[in-house]
Amino acid sequence: MDIKSKSIKPALAFLSFVLGISLLMFSVAVGWSAGTLGWQEINDAFQTDYQQTSRFRHTIESWFFRIADGHFTASDGLTDRNLLYFVQWEGGEAYTNCPELAQEQLPDGYNFLLSFDGAAVTIRKDGQKVEVYGDGLYRPDSLWELPGYQNYPVPSSYSSLTLLLAAAKNPAPFVQDVQGVFQYQHDYDSGLYGITLALERIRTVFVWALVLPLAAGLVLLLLSLVWHKHKVRADQAIAWCTSRVWLEVKVLLLIPFGFLSIVALYLCAGFFLLLQYPSNVLLYLTIPAALWWGYLYVNDLRYGFGQLKTHSLCALLARMLRGTELHYPVGQRICRRSALQFILCLPFFLFCALAALIFMASFWRSNWFVVLLFLLLCSIGAALIGGQLWLIAQNRRTASHLDWLLDRIQHGDAGTPLPEESDLQVVADSLEQMESRLQDAVEEQVKSEKLKLELITNVSHDLKTPLTSMVSYLELLRQEEHLPPHVQDYLQVLDQKTKRLQAMVLDVFDVSKAATGNLHLSVKPIDFAKLLRQTLADQDESIAASPLTFRVQLPQEPVYILADGERLYRVFQNLIGNALQYALEGSRVYVHLETAGEKAVATLRNTSRDELPHGVDFTERFVRGDQSRTDGGSGLGLSIARTFTEACGGSFSISTQADLFTAQVIFPLTHLRPEQEEPG
C-alpha cells in the first residue's frame, strides 16, 4: 500500500461515514414528515392511472356537486379541456363545452365518462362500466361519495338534472386556443392536470429524497464500517486539529450552531414545506449539520481529552501569569510582571471602549462621521492591545532564554542553541567562552592531578625498592652470629631507623593519595562505639604496656554512622598512638563517645608530656609537638587522621588548652543499618 492510499483511505472512510449518516438522517426526516400525508396519498402517487386516485375521485365528486347544486352555471366555463361537461336541467337549456357529449359520444383522448340521469350515477371507463355503488350501502370507505345509495338517496332537487362529465386520459396543461374560452363570466380550472402534477411531485420527492438517500446512506455506512480502522485514524486526526482550538471558542461556537440546529428541526417538522418549496431541502440538510457539530465535540472529548483542560485561553493566560514552564523564579517573575501589567491596563481599555460605544450610540444618527471615528478608535484600541500582547510574548521569549541560560549554567546541558536575534545572545556567547575556559582549566587540573599521582607512585616505588634491599640485608646481618656487641648496637639503630623510614614512606603515600583525591573508600553503615571498642582492644597490648591509664566511656547501644571502617580504624589507631607517644607518664587518657543531636562526637583527651607550642596546626603534615624530631613518629599521624576522617565525610579537629590535648572526630548519624551478611 502506498503512502497516498494511507491518507486517502481514512479521508474516504470518514467522508462515507459522514455522508452515510447524513443521508440516512435526511431520509428519516423526510420520511417522518411524509408520514403526515397518509398512506392513501402515497399509494395513489405510484398509480399509473391518475383516475384511480382518491384525488381524482374527489375532484370529479366536487364538480358533480358544484354543478348539481347550481354553483356552476351556463355563464361559467373551464379554461382547460381536461374535463368535458354536458348539463341539462329538465325544461332548461343544455350547456356544454363539447357538443358531441350530448350523444354520449366520447371524443378522442377521453376515456372516463360519468353520466347522471336524475336517479343514479353511471361511470364508464374505456367503454367498460365501473361499479359505483357496490352493494348499495354507503360506508366511509366507499370509493365514490355520490348520491344514489340506499342510505344516501338522490336529493329531490337533482331529479330533473342530466349531467355528463368526461375526463381526459392524459390531462394536458392549459390550452390556449380553445374557442370561446374567455366568453364566460367565471373561468375555472378543472384541476385534473393539477392532480397529475401533485402526484408526480410526491413521486419525485419519494424517490429522490427518501428512497435514494436511504439506499446510498446505508451503502456508505456499510463502507465506513468495513473501513472502521481508517475511520478511527481520521477521527484521531480531526481530534488533533480540534484540540488545538481554545476551549472558550468551542463553548462560544456552541451557542449559534446549537440555535441553528434547533431552528432547523422546528422548520422541518412538516412535509408540505418540502413539497411546496423543494429548495427547503437545504433546511433538511441542517439537521445532520447539527449532529456533526455534536460529533466533533464528542470526538474531541474521546481522543483529545487531555488537551481540553490545558488548551484554553484561560489556561494560557494562567500559564502566562504563572510562567510554570520556566524553571527559575527570575523568568517566572518577569513573565508575571508583564502579564500583570497588561491585566492592570485592561480596565482602562474596557472603560474607553464603553465610553466610545455610548458616544456612538447617542450620535450616530446625527453624523456618519461619528461612526468613522468610532471605528478608528476601535482599531487603535485593538492595535494597542495587540502591541501589549506582542510585548508580553517578547518578554516571555527573553525569560525562556534566561531559563535556558540558567539551565545551562546549572546542568551544563547545552541542548538547542539560542536563536541568533535573542536578547541574551551576548550573555550566551560569554557563557560559552567562560565554559570553554573552565573546561580548559579543568582539563589542565586533571592532567596535573594525574601527573602528581604518577609522581607519587614513582617516588614511592623508587623509595621502596632500596628499602627492600635495606630490610633484607639487615635481616641477613642480624642472622650473622658472633657479632661484636657494639656492632649489634649499631645494627639495632639501623633497624629502628629503617622501620621508621618504612612507616614514613607508607604514610606519605597514603597522605598524598588522599590529598590528590585518589583514596578508595568503601563507605558503609558501621557502629561507631563498636569500632572504638575494637580499636582499643586491638591496641590493648601497647596500652597495657604504657604508663598511661585509659578512661573509656562509650554508649552500650549502637551509634550508627556512615564511614569506611578500615580508614576510621587508622584514624583512632593514630590518635591512640599519638597519646601513647606524647602523653605525660602516669596521666590519664579519656576516650568518650556521645551523640549530640544528629551527630556522633568522639573525643580523645590527654595531657601532654611536653609543653605544647602555641598556634600550631597539628594536622599539618610533618608537624609535631617537639621540634627536634628525634622520636619514632613520621609526623604524619594526625595529618592522616584528619585526611581520612574528612574523606569519610566526618570532621576532625584538634584543640589545645595549656597541656591538655583534645582531638575530636565528629560524624553525622545515619538511619541506615549494616546489612546482615548471609552465612557462608
Partner 1 sequence: MNETILVVDDDAEIVRAISILLEKEGYRVLKAYNGLQALEQALDPALRLILMDVMMPQLEGLSAVLKIREKRNLPILILSAKSEDTDKVLGLSMGADDYIAKPFHPQELVARVRSHLRRYTQLGDVNHAPGTDALVNGRLRYLPEEHTLLVDGEAVRLTATELKIVELLMRHVGRVFPAEEIYRRVWQEEPYSAENTVMVHIRRIREKIELNPKEPEYLKVVWGIGYKIEKH
How far apart are CB 489 and partner 1 at their closest, in Å? 21
How far apart are CB 579 and partner 1 at their closest, in Å? 18
How far apart are CB 496 and partner 1 at their closest, in Å? 15
Interface with partner 1: number of residues (CB under 8 A): 42
How far apart are CB 490 and partner 1 at their closest, in Å? 19
User: Distances from the Cα of 561 to the Cαs of 136, 454, 641, 671, in angstroms?
Assistant: 121, 33, 17, 8
Integer Cα distance of 112 and 255 in angstroms: 59
Residue 169: name the closest of 126, 124, 113, 110 by CA.
110
* Choice between 203 and 530, CB closer to partner 1: 530
DSSP 21-63: HHHHHHHHHHHHHHGGG-HHHHHHHT-SSGGGSHHHHHHHHHH
> Cell match 635481616: residue?
475
Q: Which stretch binds partner 1 (CB under 8 A): 67-75, 198-206, 385-393, 526-534?
A: 526-534
How far apart are CB 509 and partner 1 at their closest, in Å? 8
Residue from the set 124, 533, 592, 599 that interacts with partner 1 by CB under 8 A: 533
Integer Cα distance of 442 and 665 in angstroms: 32
- Using the rule CB under 8 A, is 461 a contact of partner 1? yes
How far apart are CB 657 and partner 1 at their closest, in Å? 30
* Choice between 310 and 468, CB closer to partner 1: 468
- Using the rule CB under 8 A, is 256 a contact of partner 1? no
> Residue 194 burial by CB count (10 A; 0-12/13-18/19+): exposed, middle or buried?
middle
Residue from the set 112, 284, 528, 652 that interacts with partner 1 by CB under 8 A: 528
How far apart are CB 473 and partner 1 at their closest, in Å? 6
* Choice between 284 and 569, CB closer to partner 1: 569
- Using the rule CB under 8 A, is 657 a contact of partner 1? no
* Choice between 457 and 546, CB closer to partner 1: 457
Residues 464-503: x/- map of binding to partner 1 (CB under 8 A)? Answer: xx-xxxxxxx-xx--x----------------------x-
User: Distances from the Cα of 8 to the Cαs of 12, 18, 233, 242, 569, in angstroms?
Assistant: 6, 15, 11, 20, 78
How far apart are CB 1 and partner 1 at their closest, in Å? 58
* Choice between 469 and 630, CB closer to partner 1: 469
> Cell match 602516669: residue?
586
- Using the rule CB under 8 A, is 540 a contact of partner 1? yes
Count other Cβ atoms within 10 Å, centred on residue 15: 15
Q: Which residues contact 532 (CB under 8 A, 6 or more apart)?
A: 552, 554, 572, 591, 593, 602
How far apart are CB 565 and partner 1 at their closest, in Å? 3
608: β partners: 583
Residue from the set 165, 234, 526, 576 that interacts with partner 1 by CB under 8 A: 526
* Choice between 327 and 599, CB closer to partner 1: 599
> Residue 566 burial by CB count (10 A; 0-12/13-18/19+): exposed, middle or buried?
exposed
Residue from the set 530, 592, 599, 609 that interacts with partner 1 by CB under 8 A: 530
* Choice between 478 and 629, CB closer to partner 1: 478
Contact of 257 with 290, CB cutoff 8 Å: yes
How far apart are CB 571 and partner 1 at their closest, in Å? 10
Integer Cα distance of 84 and 101 in angstroms: 8
Contact of 110 with 169, CB cutoff 8 Å: yes
R_g over Cα of the chain: 58
Residues 544-583: x/- map of binding to partner 1 (CB under 8 A)? Answer: -------------------x-xx-xx--------------
**Backbone CA torsion sign across 577, 580, 581, 583:** positive
- Using the rule CB under 8 A, is 507 a contact of partner 1? no
* Contact residues: partner 1, CB under 8 A: 457, 460-461, 464-465, 467-473, 475-476, 479, 502, 506, 509, 520, 526-528, 530-531, 533-538, 540-541, 563, 565-566, 568-569, 674, 677-680
